Chain A
Amino acid sequence: MSAPVATLPVSADAAASSSASTANKALIIGFVGLAVTALGLFVDDTHHVALSYLVGITYWTAIAIGMLMLVMIHHIVDAGWSTVIRRQFEHGLSAFKWLFILFLPLAATAFIGGGDTVWPWMNPAHVLHGHGTVETDILYQKKAAFLNVPMFVGATLLFFAIWTGLSARLRKASFAQDADGSVGWTGMNRQTAALGIPLGALSLSFAAIYWVKSLEYHWFSTMYGVWFFANCIRAALACGVFIMVWLTARGDYRGVLNKNHWHCIGTLGHAFVIFWAYVTFSQYFLIWNANVPEETFWYNLREVMHDGTPSQWKYVGLFILFGHFFIPFLYLLSFRRKSTAKGLFPISVWIVGVILVDLCYNILPALKDGNGDPLPFFSLNLLWVGASVVGVGGVCVWAYLRSLADSGAKLIPIRDPRIKESLTYHE
């Protein structure tokens, strides 16, 4: 147990400077991505670029929320094995304040032009395909107390305040424990987690409802927040695998991780494959079975055009069914694959890719053509989605690396009461 800790100070300086230079590269890549997205505003429809940017923001916010929930779950269940990995998630949490700043342009669209650049219900005069305007729509009127600009802006501010605040507390207590070793910090983190898990669950659910689900405000699904949560956790676990692979390759994690840590994160990832499938299937199945037009239209939009021919989104949906469930599920059944870096890395790359497609599937069909059909999946919008994901991602990765290099925190929480258990973890 003493070996990895003893070698830490020696490698820390070299690692810190290497992290800092990688961080700057990530930031530059991020700016390029954001610049390309901004360029899109001049060459393409503003709606298309804005919704593509929403995909990028939601994607990285989901990853950060997943990390936040995983850290809090770690504390509330007093987990042992994940102590050596938790610190990396804590570094990842530093992205929230930048995500907030990056979200501001989207919130600003509520006050620009008609207000319906992203969310149609923000403009009372927005014309609905086939029937009147938002203002005269009974389904909007009944939801107006919830779906209005002050509520949206206030709620979004509150979401980011909750996420940033919880992150700051978790990071402070964890980093301070490195210095003084007081068990009190673990107690503080446990309290933060006890309060933070319900707050996090509510805020991530409402964020999914306001930001994504309200794009088609006629629709409703009580599973939506849970669906988003499942994606958050899956994305965060996949990013956890990337960080573990990277830090192992760079040498930081040498002697820290053993096979059982890989097995644990792989098993947890496998469990959440099933959880995601359970929730997503339940949402589809209940709507399919009840067959109520207010609900089925959301899936119909993603399956057939107005003339009854299948649209591209039908195949995207099938791709998600197989790519997001069957492939990772069958792949991770194997002990060998879920307990090694070599086995987990490719499936994690696959999973973060499919999560992006899943978010596209939920967001982009809100862009309609003159017939009320969603714009096809394969279009110029994918370029803006890609640019936004790279742009927001560059900033998030920069925030993580900067925290890793500059926060003064050790690579692992060396004075956590469970650190020895984690370093010698055995299934």
Chain B
Amino acid sequence: MSAQPHGLIATFDSAAAIYHAAEQVRDAGYKRWDCITPCPIHGLDGAMGVRRSRVPSFSLAGGITGFCTGMTMIWWTGAVDYKLTVGGKPLFSPMFAFPISYELTILFTAFATIFGIFVLNRLPMHHHPVLKYDHIIRGLDDKFFVVIEAADPKFDGKATRALLEQAGGKNITELEA
């Protein structure tokens, strides 16, 4: 077993308590930490200083790829690979390529969004050190947890513990890596 722990976990009893604790951890400058709550807490992302997700960039890239794929595919099949005049129409027109491109835009956007979520959340993740904590199941019920990872550049066994204590955290425990 490595000497370096995964991090520290602290327990809080209410949404308000974890909200204010999150503000303190944020202001102390920590970057690699998280809150585990049994329900969504409005405004917690702000209190944690979480920036907006980067998933939309993936979606946009997927959408543009899908649109271009649709247009290129119709152009290549109809005007290059197998030239066939249908209904007196030109061999290629963005007009009739549009419905396909539109569909592919949506399809690729959806795929890219899912892909973006997986990549950014490092999924699939079959195990997480937090799951080794005995009381973590209470996080699905009535307890709130703050986890600060040892990988955070600001992490320091004593100082971090002191911060969590000062923020009102209870049962501050070291998590096995």
A contact set with B: CB distance below 8 Å: 281, 285, 288-289, 291, 333, 335, 424, 426
Q: When chains A and B are docked, how far (Å) is the Cα of A291 from the Cα of B95?
A: 13
Q: When chains A and B are docked, how far (Å) is the Cα of A227 from the Cα of B133?
A: 58
Q: When chains A and B are docked, how far (Å) is the Cα of A333 from the Cα of B56?
A: 9
The contact of A426 among B42, B88, B89, B96, by CB within 8 Å, is B42
The contact of B87 among A289, A335, A424, A426, by CB within 8 Å, is A289
Q: When chains A and B are docked, how far (Å) is the Cα of A102 from the Cα of B145?
A: 64
Whether B76 is near chain A, meaning CB under 8 Å from some CB there, is no
A335 with B95: in contact, given A289-B87, A291-B88, A426-B42 (CB under 8 Å)?
A: no
Distance (Å) between the CB of B104 and the closest chain A CB? 15
Q: Which of B31-46 contact A (CB under 8 A)?
A: 42-43
Q: Which of B87-113 contact A (CB under 8 A)?
A: 87-89, 95-96, 98-99
Chain B residues near A289 (CB, 8 Å)? Answer: 87, 89, 95-96
Whether B60 is near chain A, meaning CB under 8 Å from some CB there, is yes
Closest partner residue, chain B, to A333 (CB atom)? B60
Whether B122 is near chain A, meaning CB under 8 Å from some CB there, is no
Distance (Å) between the CB of B78 and the closest chain A CB? 14
Q: When chains A and B are docked, how far (Å) is the Cα of A426 from the Cα of B42?
A: 7
Distance (Å) between the CB of B24 and the closest chain A CB? 22
The 9 closest A-B CB pairs, nearest first, are: A426-B42, A288-B95, A285-B95, A335-B52, A281-B98, A289-B96, A285-B98, A426-B43, A333-B60
Q: Which of B113-148 contact A (CB under 8 A)?
A: none
Chain B residues near A281 (CB, 8 Å)? Answer: 98
Distance (Å) between the CB of B79 and the closest chain A CB? 17
Taking A288-B95, A289-B89, A426-B42 as known contacts, 15 extra A-B pairs with beta carbons closer than 8 A to each other, sorted by chain A number, are A281-B98, A285-B95, A285-B96, A285-B98, A285-B99, A289-B87, A289-B95, A289-B96, A291-B87, A291-B88, A333-B60, A335-B52, A335-B56, A424-B42, A426-B43
Interface CB pairs A-B, < 8 A, 7: A285-B95, A285-B96, A285-B98, A288-B95, A289-B87, A291-B87, A426-B42
Distance (Å) between the CB of B66 and the closest chain A CB? 15
Distance (Å) between the CB of B63 and the closest chain A CB? 9
Closest partner residue, chain B, to A277 (CB atom)? B102
Distance (Å) between the CB of A107 and the closest chain B CB? 39
Q: When chains A and B are docked, how far (Å) is the Cα of A335 from the Cα of B60?
A: 13
Closest partner residue, chain A, to B60 (CB atom)? A333
Distance (Å) between the CB of A163 and the closest chain B CB? 34
Chain A residues near B56 (CB, 8 Å)? Answer: 335
- Per-residue A-contact encoding for B68-97, CB less than 8 Å = 1, 0 else: 000000000000000000011100000110
Closest partner residue, chain B, to A424 (CB atom)? B42
Closest partner residue, chain B, to A281 (CB atom)? B98
Distance (Å) between the CB of A106 and the closest chain B CB? 36
Closest partner residue, chain B, to A425 (CB atom)? B42
Chain A residues near B89 (CB, 8 Å)? Answer: 289
Q: When chains A and B are docked, how far (Å) is the Cα of A285 from the Cα of B96?
A: 8
Q: When chains A and B are docked, how far (Å) is the Cα of A333 from the Cα of B64?
A: 13
Closest partner residue, chain B, to A334 (CB atom)? B56
Q: When chains A and B are docked, how far (Å) is the Cα of A395 from the Cα of B98?
A: 42
Distance (Å) between the CB of A343 and the closest chain B CB? 15
Q: When chains A and B are docked, how far (Å) is the Cα of A333 from the Cα of B59?
A: 11
Q: When chains A and B are docked, how far (Å) is the Cα of A220 from the Cα of B154?
A: 70
Chain B residues near A291 (CB, 8 Å)? Answer: 87-88
Q: When chains A and B are docked, how far (Å) is the Cα of A144 from the Cα of B52?
A: 59
Distance (Å) between the CB of B40 and the closest chain A CB? 9
Chain A residues near B87 (CB, 8 Å)? Answer: 289, 291
Distance (Å) between the CB of A281 and the closest chain B CB? 7
Distance (Å) between the CB of B64 and the closest chain A CB? 11
Chain A residues near B88 (CB, 8 Å)? Answer: 291
Q: When chains A and B are docked, how far (Å) is the Cα of A364 from the Cα of B52?
A: 46
Q: When chains A and B are docked, how far (Å) is the Cα of A60 from the Cα of B52?
A: 38
Distance (Å) between the CB of A87 and the closest chain B CB? 24
Distance (Å) between the CB of A271 and the closest chain B CB? 14
Chain B residues near A333 (CB, 8 Å)? Answer: 60
Q: When chains A and B are docked, how far (Å) is the Cα of A426 from the Cα of B95?
A: 41
Q: When chains A and B are docked, how far (Å) is the Cα of A359 from the Cα of B96?
A: 26
Distance (Å) between the CB of B69 and the closest chain A CB? 19
Q: When chains A and B are docked, how far (Å) is the Cα of A285 from the Cα of B88?
A: 15
Q: When chains A and B are docked, how far (Å) is the Cα of A285 from the Cα of B99?
A: 9
Q: When chains A and B are docked, how far (Å) is the Cα of A335 from the Cα of B43?
A: 17
Closest partner residue, chain B, to A289 (CB atom)? B96
Chain B residues near A426 (CB, 8 Å)? Answer: 42-43
Q: When chains A and B are docked, how far (Å) is the Cα of A281 from the Cα of B95?
A: 9
Closest partner residue, chain B, to A426 (CB atom)? B42
Chain B residues near A424 (CB, 8 Å)? Answer: 42
Distance (Å) between the CB of A264 and the closest chain B CB? 15
Closest partner residue, chain B, to A282 (CB atom)? B99
Chain A residues near B60 (CB, 8 Å)? Answer: 333
Q: When chains A and B are docked, how far (Å) is the Cα of A279 from the Cα of B87?
A: 23
Distance (Å) between the CB of B171 and the closest chain A CB? 30
Distance (Å) between the CB of A373 and the closest chain B CB? 25
Q: When chains A and B are docked, how far (Å) is the Cα of A289 from the Cα of B95?
A: 9
Q: When chains A and B are docked, how far (Å) is the Cα of A281 from the Cα of B52?
A: 33
Distance (Å) between the CB of B125 and the closest chain A CB? 26
Distance (Å) between the CB of A337 and the closest chain B CB? 13
Chain A residues near B42 (CB, 8 Å)? Answer: 424, 426
Closest partner residue, chain B, to A288 (CB atom)? B95
Closest partner residue, chain A, to B96 (CB atom)? A289
Closest partner residue, chain B, to A274 (CB atom)? B102
Q: When chains A and B are docked, how far (Å) is the Cα of A285 from the Cα of B87?
A: 14
Q: When chains A and B are docked, how far (Å) is the Cα of A182 from the Cα of B96?
A: 55
